[in-house]
Amino acid sequence: MPTTINLMIAGLILSVIVQIVGASSPGFYEMVIRHLEVINFSEFLLEILLSFLLFAGALHTDLEKLKASKWPILSFATIGVIISTFLSGAGLYYLLVLFEQPIDFIYCLLFGALISPTDPIAVLGIMKKANAPKSLEIKITGESLFNDGVGVVIFLTILEIARKGMGNVDALDIGQLFAVEVFGGVILGLLLGYIGLKAMKSIDHYKTEVLITLAVVMGGYALASAIHVSGPLAMVMAGLLIGNVGKESAMSKITLDYVNKFWEMIDEILNAILFVLIGLELVLIPFNLYFVIIGLVSMLLLIVGRYISLAFPSYLLGFKKTFEPNSLRIMTWGGLKGGISIALALSLDTGTEKDLILAVTYTVVLLSLIVQGLTFESVIRKWT
């Protein structure tokens, strides 16, 4: 089984053990809760882990292959995410109406925004072992790298509308926020990558050059947060630039070897931490049978919505005729959800809507990682 999913399952089992032991030892259970709350999963992932993991993923992505599929990838990461956001939000809204537990449509859209992006961390970990055709692999990994940043921007935009009220936000404000976040993140990432390359090219000392890549990630992500542009997109662009241009012009063979090994190790360690924490978060999330049922049905609706969000731009813009057979089916099943969705749900303001959205999101993420993640290789073998 993929290492990341193994670790998540281990975290889930540990969560169950904690709750069983906590039934007879409330003091122990409260201690575990306190420690998990101190970690603050949402902040830990969005402000720390995500920058390292996205940079590491982009660093090892072939830019030439990415360019060959740039238009499908960009359309899936923008048009596809927007379509999926509205389809998923509408699906949850009418599902809750059916269960006679309606909430405001804007909160359903928030759910649609946080659940629509495929998780690059989960996808990249599984794609390494899936043995998919290279052209298909680059579409899935490329989409997952970019739609994460776009999805976070859409989520923040809708969250701003929810907090201020629809009447207090006009279309110009929404467009401006979206443009600044997305294009600002891309420009900042290219600038960071360029500065990093110039610094690495000026010396030949692998230890310092590894530290330069580390500085690009830590300083660059903090800067993105300070000037309110998309940190995830900045890290993807910086990683692509350093990983592809750097190996040709700025790094010796020794430096390239050390940089690659360092970031592979960082990727493995942080993935291990992240997926164990996803499993452990079960202890903190309020569940009831109603939430679980909503989550199960939502999972089915999300799969249908993802297929539509991929098929619409593919047929509209003519990409479909260049794809391998069954590509859209495989990409639909490979659209795994992960820690980013949980982190965004945890960042919502406290209230009844948050409890419902968080529990439904967690249910969907677990089902996605376990059901889709564990069967993805079989699906690829069957449909390729």
Q: What is the pLDDT of residues 218-241, one digit of tens each?
A: 999 999 999 989 898 999 999 999
Core vs surface per residue 246-259: b (16+ CB within 10 A) or e = bbeebbeeebbebb
Contacts from 12-18 at CB under 8 Å and sequence distance 24+? 12/279, 12/282, 12/366, 13/279, 14/276, 14/279, 14/280, 15/279, 15/280, 15/281, 15/282, 15/283, 16/282, 18/283
Query: In sequence order, what DSSP letters do the residues of 292-357 get, joined into one string?
Result: HHHHHHHHHHHHHHHHHHHHHHHHHTT-GGGSPTTHHHHHHHT----HHHHHHHHTSPSSHHHHHH
Better pLDDT: 124 or 258: 258
Mapping DSSP to helix (H, G, I), strand (E, B) and coil, where does residue 29 land?
A: helix
CA separation for the pair 190, 196 (Å, rounded) = 10
Alpha helices in the chain (DSSP H): 3-24, 26-39, 41-44, 50-59, 63-68, 70-75, 81-98, 105-115, 120-130, 134-164, 171-201, 206-226, 231-249, 253-280, 289-316, 327-333, 339-346, 352-367, 373-383
Most confident of 152-161, 251-260, 374-383: 251-260
Task: Please state which CATH number belongs to domain 3-383.
Answer: 1.20.1530.20
Q: Answer yes or no: are the C-beta atoms of 323 and 314 closer than 8 Å.
A: yes
Q: What is the pLDDT of residues 182-219, one digit of tens each?
A: 899 999 999 999 999 999 999 989 899 999 999 999 99
Residue 120 is predicted with a pLDDT of: 64
Residue 10, pLDDT > 80, answer yes
Residue 222 is predicted with a pLDDT of: 94
| CA nearest neighbour of 345 among 359, 335, 331 | 359
CA separation for the pair 318, 102 (Å, rounded) = 39
Banded model confidence at residue 122, pLDDT cuts 50, 70, 90: low
The whole-model pTM stands at 0.86
Residue 23, pLDDT > 80, answer yes
**Residue extents of the structural domains in the chain:** 3-383
Banded model confidence at residue 11, pLDDT cuts 50, 70, 90: confident
**115: which 2 tokens?**
């659940």
